[in-house]
Chain A
Amino acid sequence: TQLLEQSPQFLSIQEGENLTVYCNSSSVFSSLQWYRQEPGEGPVLLVTVVTGGEVKKLKRLTFQFGDARKDSSLHITAAQPGDTGLYLCAGGGSSYKLIFGSGTRLLVRP
């Protein structure tokens, strides 16, 4: 069974601080996606990484896919209250199915 563990589970920080969320697995994935979800809404895709070692930047967000394609990280620089939400990583395989991580709930205090 493929599992994706995210850490930390919950993070409460002050506006302006930096943070990193980790997504780890013992399994290899063909792609790794990061989503952000707000209460009562569906997840919104932030980025997809497919190549081992790949780094993608989206404004203040930096995503990295591990060399072995088993882990990924999301780094947010100078967090803002608008970044508050549930961050989910999801691993993709050959069957188009996604395995979602356990989630990281982020609260950015003004």
Chain B
Amino acid sequence: GAVVSQHPSWVICKSGTSVKIECRSLDFQATTMFWYRQFPKQSLMLMATSNEGSKATYEQGVEKDKFLINHASLTLSTLTVTSAHPEDSSFYICSATTATTDTQYFGPGTRLTVL
């Protein structure tokens, strides 16, 4: 149980285009989802916290207009990287929690490469 999926697993796009990444909780309802970013050989950095039906809360230094987060249902959150640039190339990972536990269940990640 507690499986989280991400789609796509990898994506390559041209500079200036937008990319949408999906995060789904497959067998449970996720009241809260988190989006992280990880650069090569570094740790995870929290970008934003997303609650179903409300606006995401962004961490300091994360541009909310560039990284659009939508949590429209209890099983789906999306991260859209708008007008992507090469410096946005990174490994993006989501996680999800339920209302009854603070354990975060992580997705397998999405590798974004912006050319």
Contacts and interface: CB of A to CB of B under 8 A. Distances in A.
Contacts of B41: 105
A45 interface: yes
Interface in B1-47: 4, 6, 32, 34, 36, 41-46
Contact of B93 (A33, A42, A45, A97): A42
Given A31-B102, A40-B109, A42-B109, A96 B97 contact: yes
B111 interface: yes
Nearest to B10: A40
B107 A42 contact: yes
A44 B106 CA distance: 7
A96 B102 CA distance: 5
A13 interface: no
A97 B34 contact: yes
B103 interface: yes
Interface of A: 31, 33, 35, 40-45, 48, 88, 92, 95-103, 105
Interface of B: 4, 6, 32, 34, 36, 41-46, 49, 91, 93, 95, 97, 102-109, 111
25 contacts: A31-B102, A33-B103, A40-B111, A42-B93, A42-B109, A43-B44, A43-B93, A43-B106, A44-B106, A45-B104, A45-B106, A48-B103, A88-B44, A92-B102, A96-B49, A96-B97, A96-B102, A97-B49, A98-B34, A98-B46, A98-B104, A100-B45, A101-B43, A102-B43, A103-B42
